[in-house]
Amino acid sequence: MTKLSPHFSKAEMACRCCGNLKIEDRLLSALETLRNLAGVPVIVHDAYRCPKHNEEVGGVADSEHTQGLAADVRISGLSLQQMYELALQVPEFGNGGIGAYDGGFLHVDVRDHRSRWARVRGQYVGIQHLVREPVLLTDKATGTYPV
């Protein structure tokens, strides 16, 4: 199994239909950061997609998946909300794209601007349909956290 980084192999990141691979280093390094924050395996459903495969799975044209910038992931034992909160702590994802899917996985990408969405029963909707913004740990007003 060819390793691309400490926790991710070529087979995990390659296109599911043809095995072709295009992957940006900053995606791999952001996924490593996520893996280290989680402390448990990050399972990659889908990362690079060739244009043909992207079309077959109903991805938007010019999807970040076809540019080696995106991965759809699940993290062992974590809810969608917990995965979202972890992804927000990775600067490349927090400042990039995060999508929550009702199938229980998260799309993360390292595009150069912030984008959020959810996909519920095949429809794109606001991300708040599936997850909520975390309460800031520094929010003293709640009195919940020692400061």
Binding residues for Zn ion, rule: CB under 5 A, are 15, 17-18, 50, 53, 72, 107
Q: At what angle do helices 80-88 and 25-38 cross, to 10 degrees?
A: 120
**Which residue lies nearer to Zn ion by CB, 42 or 50?**
50
Minimum distance from residue 44 beta carbon to Zn ion (Å): 11
To Zn ion, the closest distance from the beta carbon of 41 in angstroms equals 18
* DSSP one-letter code for 90: S
Supply the minimum distance, in Å, between the C-beta of residue 143 and Zn ion: 38
Q: How far is the CB of 17 from Zn ion (least distance, A)?
A: 4
User: Which CB atom, from 38 or from 47, has the smaller least distance to Zn ion?
Assistant: 47
Token reading at 112 = 């150069």
Which residues are CB-neighbours of 26 under 8 A, at least 6 positions away? 92, 110
Q: How far is the CB of 59 from Zn ion (least distance, A)?
A: 7
Q: How many CB atoms lie within 10 A of CB 120?
A: 14
Q: Which is nearer to Zn ion, 22 or 139 (CB)?
A: 22
Burial class (CB in 10 A: 0-12, 13-18, 19+), 37: middle
Signed CA dihedral, 81, 78, 25, 51: sign only: negative
Residue among 17 and 136 whose Cβ is closer to Zn ion: 17
Nearer to Zn ion, 7 or 45 (CB): 45
